[in-house]
Amino acid sequence: MSIEGGDAREYGLRDVERLLNLSRAVVVGLIRCGYVAPERGPRGAYRFSFRDLIALRTARSLASAHLPARRINRVLKDLRLRLPASVPVSGLAIRAFGDRIVVQEGVRHWDADSGQYMLDLEVRVSGGELRVFDRPERTETRAESAEDWFQRAWEAEPRDQDAAVEGYQQALRMNPGHAASSVNLGRLLHESDHLKQAEETYRGGLHHHPEDELLLFNFGVLLEDLGRLDEAAAAYRAALHSQPAFADCHYNLALLCESTGNKLGAIRHLWEYRKLVAREG
C-alpha cells in the first residue's frame, strides 16, 4: 500500500495484516480486547488509521511481554494522543529504555509511560511504501534471539533471498516453534522450487502450531503444486476451520473444488470469498 508522508490514509484489514505481519486472528483479538477501535466502512469493513496501526503493533508487543491490561491501555492512550495522524516524512521510532518509552519523530523526542519490556518499533516511508516493523536492539551484551533472526531475514527478503532463507533457518534452529519463520521460510523455499524442503518446513511448523491458518494455507498451495489435491483441500479446510473469514483460502478452495468436479463446493466457497472481499471494501 502506498502512502506519502503527511497524508492521512485509511487501511483495510488486509493492509494491516501485510504491513504489521500480524495474522487476522491476532488483529481481531486485539480489537476485541479494546486496545484499538477502528472505524467501520459503509459495508461494515474495518478502516484503520495510522494511529491504529501503531496501537496494534504496540499492544501486541506489550501483551507478549505479559504487561497488565490496565498498563497497556494507559500506554496506548498516551501514545494515541501524541502520535501524528500519518507517518512523518522523517519517519518515527518508538524505543524502550528500562521503564521509559521514548518516541522520536524526526529531531523531536518525547516520553510516554510504559512498563519494563523491550520494544523497538520503526515506521518508515521508502519508495512510497509504508513499513512498520519491530527492530530489537542488538548489542554485544545481548544474545540474539529467534525474533532477532526473523526480523533480520524479513528485512533482507527484498534484496537477498538467500540471506533471508538463512535467517529464517537460524530463527527456527533457535526456536523450532517460531511460526512466522516457518511460514516465510516455507514460502521462499516453495518459490525457489525446493519443494521437499518447503514441505518439511511447513510440517515442522504445523507440529508446533497445528491450527495456524497461514501455515495451513501455504501448505495447501504447496500440496496443490505437488498434485496432491485431496491433501491440499484438507489443508485449506483446516485453515478455514481456524479462520472462517480467510478470503484467499475460500478462493483457492473454490478453484480446487471446480477442478475436481465439486461444483457445489466451488459455488459455496466462491460466494464466501466474494462476500468477504465486499465486506472489506
Same domain, 130 and 148: no
Whether residue 130 is found in the same domain as residue 18: yes
pLDDT of residue 15 exceeding 70: yes
State the pLDDT confidence band at 35, using cuts at 50, 70 and 90: confident
Residues 181 and 167: their CA atoms lie apart, in Å, by 9
- DSSP of 13-65: HHHHHHHHT--HHHHHHHHHTTS---EE-TTS-EEB-HHHHHHHHHHHHHHHT
List, edge to edge, every strand of the sheet that includes 120-126.
108-113, 100-105, 92-97, 120-126, 129-134
pLDDT of amino acid 96: 52
Q: What is the pLDDT of residue 117?
A: 43
Nearest-angstrom CA–CA distance, 172 and 203: 13
On the question of pLDDT at 193 being above 50, the answer is yes
State which amino acid sits at residue 3.
I
Q: Is residue 1 part of a domain?
A: no
- Decide if 256 is inside a domain: yes
Residue 139 is assigned to a structural domain of this protein: no
Residues 156 and 126 in one domain: no
Instruction: Name the residue with higher pLDDT: 120 or 183.
Output: 183
Domain range enclosing 173: 144-209
Question: In this structure, are 159 and 191 located in the same domain?
Answer: yes
The confidence band for 23, taking pLDDT boundaries of 50, 70 and 90, is confident
265 part of a folded domain: yes
Q: How many CA atoms lie within 13 A of 113 on its CB side?
A: 11
Shared-domain flag, residues 37 and 95: yes
pLDDT of residue 1: 35
pLDDT band, very low/low/confident/very high, at 2 (cuts 50, 70, 90): very low
For residue 111, pLDDT over 80 is answered with no
pLDDT tens digits, 261-276: 999 999 999 999 998 8
**Mean pLDDT on 52-75:** 70
**Is residue 53 over pLDDT 50?**
yes
Return all residues near 280 (Cβ < 8 A) that are at least 6 apart. 12, 13, 14, 45, 46, 247
Q: Total structural domains in the chain?
A: 3
Q: Is residue 117 part of a domain?
A: yes
Q: Is 163 exposed, middle or buried (0-12, 13-18, 19+ CB in 10 A)?
A: middle
The packing angle between helices 24-32 and 13-20, to 10°, is 110
Residues 21 and 91 in one domain: yes
Co-location of 199 and 234 in the same domain: no
Dump pLDDT digits (tens) for 198-237.
999 999 999 999 998 889 999 999 999 999 999 999 999 9
The C-alpha torsion from 175 through 176 and 178 to 183, rounded to 10°, is 140
